Amino acid sequence: MVTAFPQINFVVDEALNQQIATARKQERWTPTANAFARLLKWLDSGTDSQGQRYEEMRDRLVAFFDRKNCASPDELADETLNRVMKWVEEHDRDYDEEPAKICYNTARFVFHESLRKPNYVSEDISDLPKPPAIDPRKIAALEEEEQGKEKRLTCLQGCSQKLPADDRDLIVRYYYGEQRVKLDNRKALAAERGMTANALSIKACRIRDKLRDCVTKCVCE
């Protein structure tokens, strides 16, 4: 599909399909493989991250819309990236100094548009009608009960086995313990691996994200 990036893995294919689906759902401009390849290249700013930069940007956008309590953060993130893709295509851009800035500005527009749509639902507790009150803890507890804690734990054990032993060791030690113990563990871990605290936290977060994605898929199966 994307001849300019033969090394891009199937994750990118999935992402493109998602972009197309979102565009079709909204009856707007439909992204092409070429436009998508150009977006990836543009986001990488000359390097080749094998789609990783795109994934990171999409995750950040999803989190952004989620913190805004948008009803469908994933759809809004895809809509944002569609618009950026179209903009890159139309402006024939392969490089830009601040692609992330353009993504952010676009996301703001998308967010403000979503506020005007009737299907926007804020789940902020202050916006909800008072009676009957919804206790988010009860919702969380019910959901957890439904999904099954045992199943989640089993999935987690299975997913952890897919991790390299070194990553598994890192993530367990990075997140184990309370407050002071945790900080001491992290210092020792960083010293042991010759990493800065920042680099260690980035690595731990990535492993955790990977594990969470795996568990989410496992639970849904």
Q: Which is nearer to other proteins, 35 or 211 (CB)?
A: 211
- In whole angstroms, the minimum distance from the beta carbon of 103 to other proteins comes to 6
Q: Which of 15, 35, 40, 103 binds other proteins (CB under 8 A)?
A: 103
Answer whether 111's CB lies under 8 Å from 68's CB: yes
Q: Which is nearer to other proteins, 34 or 123 (CB)?
A: 123
Which pair of structure tokens corresponds to residue 79? 């809509």
Integer angstrom CA distances of residue 18 from 4, 28, 58, 165, 219: 20, 14, 12, 32, 21
Residue with tokens 């500005």: 105
181 binds other proteins (CB under 8 A): no
Integer angstrom CA distances of residue 4 from 11, 21, 41, 57: 16, 23, 9, 20
Answer whether 186's CB lies under 8 Å from 197's CB: yes
Which pair of structure tokens corresponds to residue 159? 């997913």
Answer whether 33's CB lies under 8 Å from 72's CB: no
49 binds other proteins (CB under 8 A): no
97 binds other proteins (CB under 8 A): no
158 binds other proteins (CB under 8 A): no
Give the three-class secondary structure for 93.
coil
131 sits in the region (left: phi over 0; alpha: psi -120 to 50; else beta) called: beta
Query: Binding marks (x or -) toward other proteins, 110..149, rule CB under 8 A?
Result: -------------xxxx--------xxx-xx--xx--x-x
27 binds other proteins (CB under 8 A): no
- In whole angstroms, the minimum distance from the beta carbon of 13 to other proteins comes to 24
Q: Which stretch binds other proteins (CB under 8 A): 25-33, 41-49, 86-94, 170-178?
A: 170-178
**Interface residues with other proteins (CB under 8 A)?**
56-57, 60-64, 66-67, 69, 73, 98, 100-101, 103-104, 107-108, 123-126, 135-137, 139-140, 143-144, 147, 149, 152-153, 156-157, 160, 168, 171-172, 175-176, 178-179, 182, 198, 201-202, 204-205, 208-209, 211-212, 215-216
